[in-house]
Chains A and B, each alone.
Chain A
Amino acid sequence: MPAQKYGVTESMIAGYGDLVFRLSNNIQVRRGDPVRLKQFDIIDRERADLGMSDAEIGARLGLSLEQARTIRIIMEHRRFRTGHYQRILGLGAGKRYREERYVSREERFALSPEAERLREGVEFVPAHVERMLEQRHWNGDTVPRWLARFARETPDKPAIVAPDATLSYREAWRRAERLARALTALGLRKGDVIAVQLPNVPEFMLAYFAATMMGAIVAPMHMPYRAREMAPLLRHARARLAICGPPVGEYVPVEMFLALRNEVHSLAHIVTIGGPARPGTLSLQQLIETGPFEDIRNPGVAADPAILCFTSGTSAAPKAVVHSSYTMLANNRLCGPLYELRGNDILMSGAPFTHAFGICIINFALSVGATQLLLPAFRPDLFAQTIVQGRPTLLFAAPAHVAACLKAGLLQEADLASLRLATISGSTCPPQLAEALQQRMPAGKVMQMWGMTELFMGLNTRPDDAEGVRCGCVGRPTPEIEVRIVNEAGQPVADTDSGELHIRGPSVFAGYYDNPQANGVAFADSWFCTGDLACRDAEGNFQITGRLKDLINRGGIKINPVDVEVLIDKHPKVLQSALVPMRDDIMGEKACAFVVSREGESVTLEEICEWLHNNGVAKMKWPERLELIGEMPLTPTRKIIKGLLRPRLPA
């Protein structure tokens, strides 16, 4: 600004600036109505307040016109604010601006550093994003969008049926929205992580719905987890709020979470269900009914992270899978037709909602406005009772669920006529188990599905497959999911050969959150290396033959433990078995069998080896040590945790 050439110095601006600004039209004050009333004396007296031209200002202050103008323009530039237009951008038709409610765009859309970091968990290579969107495998669908749709279209239809409560779609929406607003009022924002340790109860679903409404991320925590398992996960997720249930036996979740706040510094709030809140915690029910209320300024969208599930990993580097609504809901849309999913279906999940499998079933029901029948926690008698009383049309269960019920004789007499489809998934299912269930379902069909937290449902049998296929394998890829089977060198193998299953497609995750080491080995080009071993038959149906990391390397010969376990499990004295590698100075590794024998029975290594010999198993695959145990360590989805067996072996 060439101020000096008009004789304007910085000290003049400091001295005259505010006054010049105020005398100009920038600030106008009018008293009475002097122009309309032609009160010229008042006009002359108050001209300075009414607003003056530069010439008038100059004359009044003893400045030249140029000096007055220069000072005014400099002051206007210094004081001019350029963000005001943003205040009207969000004002919809019929809405009025309200100063007390205004939140600037910067504040409204700001993400915390933690939330920004979490977004990296859903960042794909641009070409993949473009392809998925162009092919419409990814779209704007979100959990709240689906919920809102059916709250509008079928408001009175049951969305959630629990043993002690039924919530219609309207009510589920109302409560979830109220909770989302209350959580927003607590200061939670898009990108914040909400850890949820609850059984399959309505509150889990409401928390999940509310979180996705406000763009927060649900991190489910398995029910058996305690402080030791939970702390590294909460830290890794940088959880800001935890929702937990009432005491279970000696375990008092709220006490654990309160104590964890000392080591998980991000954890600002603890919300409980079932009873009044303890000091330092909040009641979920109260938040829904009487909690604070704030507009959801930055609601979740499909591209946002929606859930964060832990798979395995170590305490120092947990493997956390982040899914956006893109990847998560694409899977439901693609699988819906396979299951002939309809709005009048009633879905029941044996899998806990704290697992991706369970969340997948929530979404599945929501995708068509069906009803979710809740089994709060697995117990064989309750499982059978819920089927009989709740009359689900679709059942999703793990092999262990079915096995436990069959073993207890609960399904033999139960009326399973309501079941249209029963899908077994979660771990390898022995064909005879699926067949046994099929025999109890004259009106329905048993199917098998293979999936992972990293990609949800990846392989499925189809309802119109022959029974042998439905009970004997995990079927074919979900539409739009690509699979390949490769050997150790990464080369595709012949159809009947076993190799590692690689997979890619719309529902495959982007990578483990904040775990570059895991990501370094999890992907080969654009393929996700599942770590599962599989083979494919001539019809294109897949068998899962084991886990890559579970292979036993006996002197260079790879033994797939599943081949052996299936046979040992058929031994009349054996209830369940697991083969794990044990260190050997000569062979490198040998097989050790961990066995749970049937009640009142005991089995020896010799008996097992003889059994395997009689079943034509090569001697090199026989276990060379036997450990009898009372109970198998199982995941919440009833998979054997071999990692907990290995430490039991002598060093």
Chain B
Amino acid sequence: MKKPLDAAAAKRKVLDYCLRKGALCAGIADLEAINRVAPAGHRPADLMPKVKSVVSIGVGGNTRGSWGVSAKALTYFGSTEGRAYKIAYGLAFYIEHTFGIPAVYCPPDMDSEAGARVPFQSLKLHAELAGLGARSLAGDILLHPQFGYMYFASVFTELTLAPDEPLKENPCPAPSCVAMYREVGKTPCMKFCPVQCLSGKLDEHGQQAEMYYDMAACAEMSQQFEAMPKVLAEAMRQNDPQDFDDMLALESKLLFYKLSTGSHAMFGQCFECMRVCPIATKAPLADPILRSEAARAQRPTGAAAPAK
């Protein structure tokens, strides 16, 4: 006779697997909440009709030192999300192998036909609801008080797992950012954005009142792909062969092409908002030394438990 499944033990096993494989944290997102927020066509059931749970996995971003490299080099640094996808891919097999229940690795890509940079499934939404981070003033990039800036991956499964709660507090803005905002009307991410795509307001308590993000302006600098066809189309419209060459100007646009088409993984970003973010760069467990086994053994598994 098949032994009944212990949901709590199953959750512990799933999350332990993620941490063992290198995740900084992992948690279960509230499926009902996802369905309330995500637009039709981009809900977990649109990918996996009998989905019961969404596991969100966070992996580390840059080391503290790497935040100090030149801006150009940083665009080549940030792409550690591949590690998150690898863990998710393994987790899907692990769930099926361990529990005999279907699981699916969630594709991280954009659904280009659905809208302006609308993803198939919002990994950010899953992570936020699973308590792996909260929306920042830096274009809603999720930040975690202990792990700082992370990359996320998700696994859907028909295994029922108890959802975690979102973070109780939003770490953004950090006290130093509030102080700067009071002085100059901008937080560091707003002030130092190369395309000035960020702005916003803080309330009297220093909490986020409004976040404004000009994603179109950010697009060339971030993970978007429209730029390439745009430039090609502009080049094709040139009548003068020299103008055509100038438009494509390989010698001066390599970085642009790299940013526009993505790095070896999926995305390229300028990361300038993150490198001036005290949470991203100075979060206690963003330090790789503190991510050691000993440090991790101190904290319970589950969604970002210390902050809850």
Q: What separation, in Å, do the CA atoms of A84 and B135 have in the docked complex?
A: 25
User: How far, in angstroms, from A576 to B9 measured CA to CA in the complex?
Assistant: 112
Q: Which of B99-139 contact A (CB under 8 A)?
A: 113-118, 125, 128-129, 134-135, 139
Chain A residues, Cβ within 8 Å of B166: 35-38
Would A54 and B209 count as touching, CB distance under 8 A?
no
Residues of A within 8 A of B252 (CB): 105
Bound CA–CA A29/B212 (angstroms): 5
Q: Which residues of A contact B33 (CB under 8 A)?
A: 38, 40
In the assembled complex, the Cα of A31 lies from the Cα of B270 at a distance in Å of 25
Contact pattern, A 483-520, Cβ under 8 Å of B = 1, otherwise 0: 00000000000000000000000000000000000000
Asked if A40 contacts B36 (CB within 8 A), the reply is: yes
Whether a CB of chain B sits under 8 angstroms from the CB of A366 is: no
Residue A26 interfacial (CB < 8 Å): yes
Which of A21, A36, A77 neighbours the largest number of chain B CB atoms within 10 Å of its CB? A36
The answer to whether B170 touches A55 (Cβ under 8 A) is no
| B residues near A53, Cβ cutoff 8 Å | 39, 41-42, 114-115, 118
CB distance from A93 to the nearest CB of B (A): 5
A88 and B114 alpha carbons, distance in the complex (Å):
31
Q: Answer whether A57 and B75 are a contact pair too, CB < 8 Å, given A40-B36, A80-B226, A84-B217.
A: no
- Bound complex: CA A88 to CA B216 (Å): 17
Contact A29 B115 (CB under 8 A): no
In the assembly, what is the distance between CA of A55 and CA of B217, in Å?
23
Q: Is the CB of B71 within 8 A of A28?
A: no
Asked whether any CB of chain A lies closer than 8 Å to the CB of B37, the reply is yes
- Chain A positions within 8 Å of B216 at CB level: 21, 26-27, 76, 79-80
A37 contacts across to B, CB distance below 8 A: 166
Q: Contacts of B259 on A, CB cut-off 8 Å?
A: 85
Whether the Cβ atoms of B114 and A54 lie closer than 8 Å is: yes
A425 at the interface (CB under 8 A from B): no
Question: Is A577 in contact with chain B by the CB < 8 A criterion?
Answer: no
State whether A31 touches B116 (Cβ < 8 A). no
Q: Is the CB of A55 within 8 A of B39?
A: yes
Nearest CB in chain B: distance from A67 CB, A: 13
Residue-wise interface mask of A (88-106) relative to B, using a CB-CB cutoff of 8 A (1 in contact, 0 not): 1101111111110010010
- Which residues of chain B are within 8 angstroms of A30 by Cβ–Cβ distance? 135, 140, 208, 210-211, 213
A28 and B140 contacting across the interface, CB-CB below 8 Å: yes
Is B219 an interface position by the 8 A CB rule?
A: yes
A72 / chain B contacts, CB cutoff of 8 Å = 115-116
Distance (whole angstroms) from the CB of A90 to the closest CB of chain B:
8
Q: A31 vs B208: C-alpha distance in the bound complex, in angstroms? A: 8
A80 to B219, CA, bound (A): 9
Q: Is B231 interfacial (CB-CB < 8 Å)?
A: yes
Could you tell me how many residues of chain A have their Cβ less than 8 Å away from some Cβ of chain B? 48
Within the complex, which residue of B30, B75, B125 is in contact with A88, where a contact is CB–CB below 8 Å? B75
Q: Of A55, A80, A91, A98, which is within 8 A of B230 by CB?
A: A80
The answer for the CA separation of A54 and B194 in the assembled complex, in Å, is 28
Given the complex of chains A and B, what is the CA–CA distance between A95 and B192 in angstroms?
10
> Does B179 make an interface contact (CB < 8 A)?
no
Q: Complex formed: what's the CA distance from A55 to B41 in Å?
A: 9
Q: How far is the CA of A79 from the CA of B272 in the complex (A)?
A: 23
Enumerate chain B residues within 8 angstroms of A120, measured Cβ to Cβ.
Answer: none
Chain B CB within 8 A of A224 CB:
no
> B227, A82: Cβ atoms under 8 Å?
yes
* Residue B180, interface by CB 8 Å: no
Q: Which residues of B contact A85 (CB under 8 A)?
A: 220-221, 253, 255-256, 259, 270
Residue in A21, A35, A55 whose CB lies within 8 Å of B128: A35
Q: Is the CB of A32 within 8 A of B125?
A: no
Alpha-carbon gap, A56 to B226, bound state (A): 21
Contact string against A for B residues 18-56, beta-carbon threshold 8 Å, 1 for contact and 0 otherwise: 000000000000100100110111100000000000000
List B residues 221-241 near A (Cβ within 8 Å): 221, 226-227, 230-231, 233-234
| A window 28-60: CB within 8 A of B | 28-33, 35-38, 40, 43, 51-57
Report the bound CA distance from A55 to B212 in whole Å: 23
Report A-chain residues with C-beta under 8 Å of the C-beta of B40: 55-56
Tell which of A25, A69, A93, A97 touches B215, judged by Cβ atoms closer than 8 Å: A25
Contacts of B221 in A (CB 8 A): 84-85, 88
How many Å lie between the Cα of A38 and that of B163 in the bound state? 14
Could you tell me the distance in whole angstroms from the C-beta of B196 to the nearest C-beta in chain A? 6
Does B68 lie at the interface of the complex (its beta carbon under 8 Å from any beta carbon of A)?
yes
Looking at the assembled complex, report how far the CB atom of B191 sits from the nearest CB atom of chain A, in whole angstroms.
8
Q: Which residue of B lies closest to A79 (CB)?
A: B216
Q: In the assembled complex, how far is the CB of residue A47 from the closest CB belonging to chain B, in whole angstroms?
A: 8
CA distance A252 to B171 in the complex (A): 69
Q: Which residues of B sit under 8 angstroms from A79, Cβ to Cβ?
A: 216
Which residues from chain A contact B129 at a C-beta distance below 8 Å?
35, 38
Q: Does A226 contact B (CB under 8 A)?
A: no
Q: With an 8 A cutoff between CB atoms, is A541 at the interface?
A: no
Find chain B residues with CB under 8 A from A54 CB.
Answer: 113-115, 118
A27 and B215: CB pair below 8 A?
Answer: yes
Chain A residues, Cβ within 8 Å of B41:
53, 55
B270 touches A88 (CB 8 A): yes
For the complex, is B274 an interface residue (Cβ under 8 Å from A)? no
Report B220 CB to chain A, min CB distance, Å: 4
Bound form: Cα–Cα A538–B167 in Å: 94
- For residue A598, CB closer than 8 A to chain B, the reply is no
Within A117-144, which residues are at the interface with B (CB < 8 Å)?
Answer: none
In the complex, chain B residues whose CB is within 8 Å of the CB of A33 = 134-135, 170, 207-208
Q: Knowing that A33-B170, A88-B72 touch, tell me 12 more A-B residue pairs with CB under 8 angstroms.
A: A24-B116, A35-B128, A35-B135, A43-B37, A53-B42, A69-B115, A80-B220, A80-B230, A82-B234, A85-B221, A91-B194, A95-B70
Please list 9 pairs of residues, one from A and one from B, whose beta carbons are closer than 8 Å in the complex, sorted by A's number. Answer: A36-B128, A36-B170, A52-B39, A52-B115, A77-B230, A79-B216, A81-B220, A82-B230, A85-B256
Question: Which 6 pairs show the lowest CB-CB distances between chains A and B?
Answer: A91-B71, A88-B71, A87-B194, A53-B115, A26-B216, A24-B116
